[in-house]
Structure 1
């Protein structure tokens, strides 16, 4: 049975041998190591038997000068089935077109599902997805990877805490989690406003509370700037105050003060970097394992140096991912650039770099009003700077009023 199964794949034929003692012809085939099976004698001058398709050439060489006549009576196996199929051109064309149509339809987005979020956020997600080109009828080859779509949604929709993007066949499935924003006052109830850092007060805007400091006063971290106790505590009113409960409020306001920072930076006087020139070419491939077959743009660009970015998208047949991928390759020309700076240029770059570093740490609304280089040195082609910067910022920090604070 195993022999028959094997020959069905490679193909075999049934031959009828006619002549005197035809069984001797099959014996001669066996002597030449040609497998023969199902040999039977039809009549005294005719025998039938099966041989492999690949042995027909050798069989014909054996038949020469023997006087036997060989007739092919039956042909079986996959090669003959394929041959008969290929002989029907209309059927072959219809099969190829059907397969191509199914392949194309399998790589189109037919449905977008959004779950796990309220209807208003679902509408926002659907709108953003449409802006990204993700909608029923879109080609999957033209879409970004799922991870990039996820990051884009989290960036463009602040209400989302998390979103999962998954392509399931011809359906894009998105599951999101709404961000619950809890707005709360850092200190509830009566409070003071205290200094978060040392500085000289430049401006004050107090909407609630009793100011305890004034413009041009120097304050240290922890000093009370605005008290939430509206009653003054002095010797003239001490007796009256002891009889009445203090009037406490939640102090509100801004206290803009001049503060100081020290920043250290190091700037190389010689740098080398690579930059893109803006020239690029796009090439498209069908990739199977490590083999790539060009589909569009067959030549290579005349770039001395290039950066290659490949975007690989799998091809589906119904819901099955095929081992073939569609690859878009973007070739960007790049060049090396060597830059040398004088010491004064490096110092200017260092000051700008220090400002940028400091701005990343400062609260919103803070302004750098001046800078001064305290120390500079040159070592191994690098300029090292210590820069003293003056900033104007809101130094207010809230503090709950305790029992002892009520006496202020």
Structure 2
């Protein structure tokens, strides 16, 4: 059986032997080293069998020494198939070109459908998709994954609350949900304004309610700033035993700007290592067959010592089927490690900058940092440790419900 393995690639022929006891001819072939298989006796004077294409010349020479008649019944294998294809070259070329054309069309974006959003948002989505290269006629293997597209759209279009992206054949389907800003018509009940933290009152803007404090007063967390009880004076607030006058309960509103104080600690190393990209890169493209990658562009190796590699893979399609062939792109970027050595003054400046930024983010953009001071500074184990003092102007008022039964 091993002698007949792979005969499709080398080719084989079915021969018919006619004569007295034709099986003896096949026996003669075997004794002369010619492989014969699938021998069948048609009648007493006829036998058929398969022989390798390479042995035909030997069989003809052997037949001349006998009285048997030899004829060829069938020809099979790759050599004969190739010959037939070459004979019908125009038909085969047309078939191959048709398949390549269908393959090409199967990997091109034909349509982008968007639903679930108003027309103005749809136009914005279309514009963004075109900037990403997603439009009719674009090759699909140059487009990112649906998850990447979804994240980009959410980042670039603030009006979108959610968007779903799916790829179906040659069409991209997008379904979005617009953000809706609902103006809460809250029915505010009677309330006071109290202090959220300790501070010195600098400015007061009271639109409703009875102010209890005044500018330059120092208040503590929880102190009453603006009362929702109209007609109640500060003296009445302090004298609980005094008979209360008729009063109206309102929802106190306003801003109480106070000077507040913060103390923070920050540590900055005098020496630090950073990993940065130099901007030099090299791109390589492959055809992927499972785990095997066949280079198609970018054959030469990079000369970078340290690299950061990004890879993307996109499978090819034929009609609605996903093929086990993919287009793989490797973006190899050079990176380097930068060693930064700071002086004491540079480390101190960096610490103040970082602390100021962190405090501003914590308090919000409406707060104003008006003063900063270094209270304590130490250098230990190559690190600068600072204790910083900040003065801030911010609104310290917060509402506190006022019980109408009080």
TM-score by length of 1: 0.84
Looking at structure 1, the residues matched to 79 and 174 of structure 2 have their Cα atoms a distance apart, in angstroms, of 47
The worse-fitting range, judged by mean Cα deviation, of 299-308 and 162-171 is: 299-308
Residue in 2 that maps onto 1:22: 22
Residue in 1 that maps onto 2:96: 96
Question: Contact 2:10–2:53 (CA<8 Å) still a contact in 1?
Answer: no
* Cα distance change of structure 1 residues 80 and 333 upon mapping to structure 2, 3 Å threshold: same
Is residue 153 of structure 2 the alignment partner of residue 156 of structure 1?
A: no
* Cα distance change of structure 1 residues 259 and 57 upon mapping to structure 2, 3 Å threshold: same
Q: Measure how far apart 1:104 and its partner are.
A: 1.4
Question: Contact 2:11–2:53 (CA<8 Å) still a contact in 1?
Answer: no
Instruction: Note the 1:257-268 alignment, pairs <5 A.
Output: 257-268=258-269
Aligned-residue Cα RMSD (Å) equals 3.2
Deviations 1:141-160 (A, max 9, x none): 23222112111222233343
Question: Contact 1:201–1:257 (CA<8 Å) still a contact in 2?
Answer: yes
Residue in 2 that maps onto 1:308: 309
Looking at structure 2, the residues matched to 94 and 343 of structure 1 have their Cα atoms a distance apart, in angstroms, of 77
Question: Please, which runs of 5 or more residues in structure 1 have no aligned partner?
Answer: 1-5
Looking at structure 1, the residues matched to 215 and 91 of structure 2 have their Cα atoms a distance apart, in angstroms, of 93
Is residue 167 of structure 2 the alignment partner of residue 170 of structure 1?
A: no
Residue in 1 that maps onto 2:375: 374
Is residue 326 of structure 2 the alignment partner of residue 325 of structure 1?
A: yes
Q: Measure how far apart 1:94 and its partner are.
A: 1.5
Instruction: Note the 1:102-117 alignment, pairs <5 A.
Output: 102-117=102-117
Looking at structure 1, the residues matched to 86 and 370 of structure 2 have their Cα atoms a distance apart, in angstroms, of 83
Is residue 198 of structure 2 the alignment partner of residue 201 of structure 1?
A: no
Q: Tell me, what secondary structure is at the counterpart of 2:249? A: coil
Question: Contact 1:190–1:249 (CA<8 Å) still a contact in 2?
Answer: yes
Residue in 2 that maps onto 1:3: none
Looking at structure 2, the residues matched to 226 and 171 of structure 1 have their Cα atoms a distance apart, in angstroms, of 61
Is residue 271 of structure 2 the alignment partner of residue 270 of structure 1?
A: yes
Deviations 1:201-258 (A, max 9, x none): 22222222222222221111222222222313456xx9xx9674x2233322222212
* Cα distance change of structure 1 residues 72 and 82 upon mapping to structure 2, 3 Å threshold: same
Looking at structure 1, the residues matched to 388 and 350 of structure 2 have their Cα atoms a distance apart, in angstroms, of 12
Residue in 2 that maps onto 1:51: 50
Deviations 1:255-309 (A, max 9, x none): 2212122222221221122211222233322222232223233323433333222
Q: Tell me, what secondary structure is at the counterpart of 1:315? A: strand
Question: Contact 2:16–2:49 (CA<8 Å) still a contact in 1?
Answer: no
The worse-fitting range, judged by mean Cα deviation, of 278-287 and 195-204 is: 278-287
Is residue 129 of structure 2 the alignment partner of residue 145 of structure 1?
A: no
TM-score by length of 2: 0.84
Question: Please, which runs of 5 or more residues in structure 2 have no aligned partner?
Answer: 1-5
Q: Measure how far apart 1:75 and its partner are.
A: 1.4
Q: Measure how far apart 1:60 and its partner are.
A: 5.1
Looking at structure 1, the residues matched to 254 and 381 of structure 2 have their Cα atoms a distance apart, in angstroms, of 50
Q: Tell me, what secondary structure is at the counterpart of 2:204? A: strand
Q: Measure how far apart 1:19 and its partner are.
A: 6.1
Question: Contact 1:186–1:398 (CA<8 Å) still a contact in 2?
Answer: no
Residue in 1 that maps onto 2:225: 225
Counting matched residue pairs gives 393
Q: Measure how far apart 1:35 and its partner are.
A: 4.9
Question: Contact 1:26–1:36 (CA<8 Å) still a contact in 2?
Answer: no
The worse-fitting range, judged by mean Cα deviation, of 336-345 and 179-188 is: 179-188
Question: Contact 1:187–1:399 (CA<8 Å) still a contact in 2?
Answer: no
Residue in 1 that maps onto 2:344: 343
Q: Measure how far apart 1:328 and its partner are.
A: 2.5
Residue in 2 that maps onto 1:254: 255
Q: Measure how far apart 1:345 and its partner are.
A: 1.9
